[in-house]
Chains A and B, each alone.
Chain A
Amino acid sequence: MFNWKDVRVLYVRELRSALRERNIVVNSILLPIFLYPLLLWLVYTGISFVGGQTEGFASRVMLVGMPAEHRLLEQELEATENLQIRSAADPAADIREGTLDALVEFLPPKAGPPPLAGDFSTKITFDDSKDRSRMAKERVADRIRRYRDHVLGERAAELGIAPEALQEFWVTSKNVATGRQMGQFILGLMLPMFLIIMLSVGCMFPAIDATAGEREKSTWETLMTTATARGNIVLAKYLYVATMSSVAGLLNITAMVLSMKAVLAPLTGRSMTDMTFRIPLTALPLIGLVTVLLALFIAGGMMILASFARTFKEGQSMVSPFYIATFLPVMFLQIPGIEFTPVLALIPIVNVVMVFREAVAGVYHWPLIAITIAVEAACVALALRLATAILRYEDFMLGTYGGNFGRFMKQRVFRR
């Protein structure tokens, strides 16, 4: 059906031209490598910077009604380096104005069994909309909590019992996930999202360049008079666009995996040595396969839409809705506890995202993977067939057709 020698000649021509176009190199190669690692690094640095700035401030707090039995607590609070004890005539107003960060009131305990001497409850007034005020509340609450644990320990020792026995129940938690599992969870959540974005970004410029770009540069008719079948031209362009998309996706995955440990681990609250961002080696062929399949799917959609444009700008506006639509499946990832089912395996893009997500965690549902591959392959075949069929229309081929894909289908396919 196809003349592979011609397809190769056409494909090499497309690729050679593309690699000399700055926009394509930036969007399909440089951006996937640097954008997201850089963005994540910037976010992390920003958060660290803001956190550091807030940490550096001393919290201005006012103490009211400190019981005499707990002078030690007062001394501890006064001695705390990042706390300044202040007094104010109208503390609530001062907190609102930002001249005071928190008001700490030591109140008698509420109704209940007779308290021990000096027992108290604490009320902290603060402004949650101000970082400094929120920080002051956390610092004071933390000091008081530690002081309470110390007092409880002493009282338990006096009674000859364990400190836990003084409390009716006790909550402890333990994360059974290993650092590797945590890493895989984060990779499974983030990589498919970035993959789809990068496949689309990497695809967009080549798809428009190979179609609308040819018309804009008046090379389309030159190509149409060459001694090769139109099907070969479509296939070569399609493979070229899919190649650029796949390259963007695979480069992005590699860059993310390599940089994620350094960038993301601190954000999760775990130390870097705790987390392992590693994809199982056995998953790599499957991840590569589904990435290429997804690239082929996105390339098909974008090329068909862009081929109705007569200029690069028109191409961008025609492709944009599809570009945005490819991100929608990412929403699925946010549903808690979402399971990979046969129904999801039938939905293009979503199925690949799910296969990817499971593969990262080393989970393989082979029947669902087979359905996914079949569905994506069918979509790819359909896109190719559609592109070749559309090319048979002369006004489309000459670039004189003035509508978009939707209008074309309505006029030429559904009306028939």
Chain B
Amino acid sequence: MNDTVVVRGLTKTFYDEGRGEVHAVQGIDFECRAGEVFGLLGANGAGKTTTLRMLSTVLAPTAGTATILGRDVATDAIGVRSRMGFYSASTALYPRLTARETIEFFARINQYPADKVRERVEFLIERFGIAKYADARVDKLSSGMKQKVSIARTVAHDPPVLIFDEPSVGLDVLNALEMHEVVREFRQQGKTIIFSTHIMSEAEKLCDRIAIIHGGRILACDTLDRLREATATRYLEDIFVHYVRGRG
């Protein structure tokens, strides 16, 4: 078994003053493997972000378990976070740090060996082509440059598991394509990637397996080919509609 991420019966219930009890995630199960891009496909409010926040230990599960490389998100949060990189639209960069300082800070605070931090920072600067503006403050960078720095800080400590929560939101076509390239590269390096999106074409292109999530439940989870077989449809959009409407 090379499952790096194992989720069992994961549940999250909020109390909201206006809506009362909100069952954001209702007992989901899935597992991800090394060298795999696992897609969480769902509409807005389906429970994707809540699930990923539980995996990244920002939120504590109400019930169920989730482990990353054997570390439980509920009992070993720091162990989980040191083995995981989390990227989302809501994880911005510090505007007053330079690109170099940003990568160095995240490498150090995420427990990358202190004697190798400098080397790692230079490697990432080179890899993401940010040498020209490595010493410029982040708030002076274009959105494309910021995206590169943001990915570099996500992998600053070389984590084996990466979580990308709707990473293409707000990106133009070229930057989105570059993001896809990076994700593929990480997959080739053997990292486990959990990729949430509501963009069907993105999931189709990138994900090895796709979990369709709706109303806090996973309605289907398989490879794209098997989902096609099971629903007798070709396009992911139709597959998605099949499951979501079928449930309704």
Taking each of B93, B96, B137, B153, which has the highest tally of chain A beta carbons within 10 Å of its own beta carbon? B96
Is there an interface contact between A217 and B90, defined as CB atoms closer than 8 Å?
no
Please give the distance in Å from A13's CB to the nearest CB on chain B. 5
A228 at the interface (CB under 8 A from B): yes
What separation, in Å, do the CA atoms of A226 and B112 have in the docked complex?
11
A6 touches which of B84, B88, B109 (Cβ 8 Å): B109
Is there an interface contact between A227 and B109, defined as CB atoms closer than 8 Å?
yes
Residues of the B chain whose Cβ atoms lie less than 8 Å from the Cβ of A226: 81, 106, 109-110
Contact residue range for chain B? Answer: 20 to 34
Taking each of A10, A221, A394, which has the highest tally of chain B beta carbons within 10 Å of its own beta carbon? A221
Is there an interface contact between A228 and B78, defined as CB atoms closer than 8 Å?
yes
Tell me whether A20 and B137 are in contact in the complex, defined as CB-CB below 8 angstroms, given that A226-B106, A227-B109 are known contacts. Answer: yes
Is there an interface contact between B90 and A221, defined as CB atoms closer than 8 Å?
yes
CB-nearest residue of chain B relative to A209? B96
Please give the distance in Å from A9's CB to the nearest CB on chain B. 5
Is there an interface contact between B58 and A224, defined as CB atoms closer than 8 Å?
yes
Residues of the B chain whose Cβ atoms lie less than 8 Å from the Cβ of A219: 91-94
Taking each of B60, B88, B93, B94, which has the highest tally of chain A beta carbons within 10 Å of its own beta carbon? B94
A282 at the interface (CB under 8 A from B): no
A227 touches which of B82, B89, B153 (Cβ 8 Å): B82
Please give the distance in Å from B89's CB to the nearest CB on chain A. 8
What separation, in Å, do the CA atoms of A93 and B109 have in the docked complex?
81
Tell me whether A217 and B58 are in contact in the complex, defined as CB-CB below 8 angstroms, given that A9-B109, A228-B78, A228-B109 are known contacts. Answer: no
A416 at the interface (CB under 8 A from B): no
Which residues in chain A, 115-154, are within 8 Å of chain B measured between CB atoms?
none
What separation, in Å, do the CA atoms of A264 and B60 have in the docked complex?
60
B243 at the interface (CB under 8 A from A): no
B164 at the interface (CB under 8 A from A): no
Please give the distance in Å from B81's CB to the nearest CB on chain A. 4
Taking each of B78, B105, B109, which has the highest tally of chain A beta carbons within 10 Å of its own beta carbon? B109
Residues of the B chain whose Cβ atoms lie less than 8 Å from the Cβ of A229: 78
Which residues in chain A, 221-244, are within 8 Å of chain B measured between CB atoms?
221-222, 224-229
What separation, in Å, do the CA atoms of A394 and B137 have in the docked complex?
31
Is there an interface contact between A17 and B94, defined as CB atoms closer than 8 Å?
yes
Q: What is the size, in residues, of chain A's interface with B at 8 Å between Cβ atoms?
A: 24
Please give the distance in Å from A18's CB to the nearest CB on chain B. 8
What separation, in Å, do the CA atoms of A256 and B82 have in the docked complex?
48
Is there an interface contact between B96 and A20, defined as CB atoms closer than 8 Å?
yes
A271 at the interface (CB under 8 A from B): no
Please give the distance in Å from B179's CB to the nearest CB on chain A. 17
What separation, in Å, do the CA atoms of A321 and B105 have in the docked complex?
35
Tell me whether A218 and B91 are in contact in the complex, defined as CB-CB below 8 angstroms, given that A394-B59, A397-B58 are known contacts. Answer: yes
B97 touches which of A6, A13, A227, A394 (Cβ 8 Å): A13
Please give the distance in Å from A72's CB to the nearest CB on chain B. 78
Tell me whether A221 and B88 are in contact in the complex, defined as CB-CB below 8 angstroms, given that A227-B78, A229-B78 are known contacts. Answer: yes
Which residues in chain A, 1-58, are within 8 Å of chain B measured between CB atoms?
6, 9-10, 13, 16-17, 20-21
A13 touches which of B86, B94, B111 (Cβ 8 Å): B94
B91 touches which of A222, A227, A398 (Cβ 8 Å): A222
Which residues in chain A, 382-401, are within 8 Å of chain B measured between CB atoms?
394-395, 397-398
Which B residues are within 8 Å of any A CB, using their own CB?
14, 17, 56-60, 78, 81-82, 84, 86, 88-97, 101, 105-106, 108-111, 137, 153, 157
Known: A9-B108, A17-B96, A218-B90. 19 other contacts (CB 8 A): A9-B109, A10-B109, A13-B101, A13-B105, A16-B96, A16-B97, A21-B96, A217-B92, A218-B89, A222-B91, A222-B153, A225-B57, A226-B109, A227-B78, A227-B111, A394-B60, A395-B14, A398-B59, A402-B17
The 7 closest A-B pairs by CB, nearest first: A227-B82, A218-B92, A227-B81, A222-B91, A225-B86, A20-B96, A17-B96
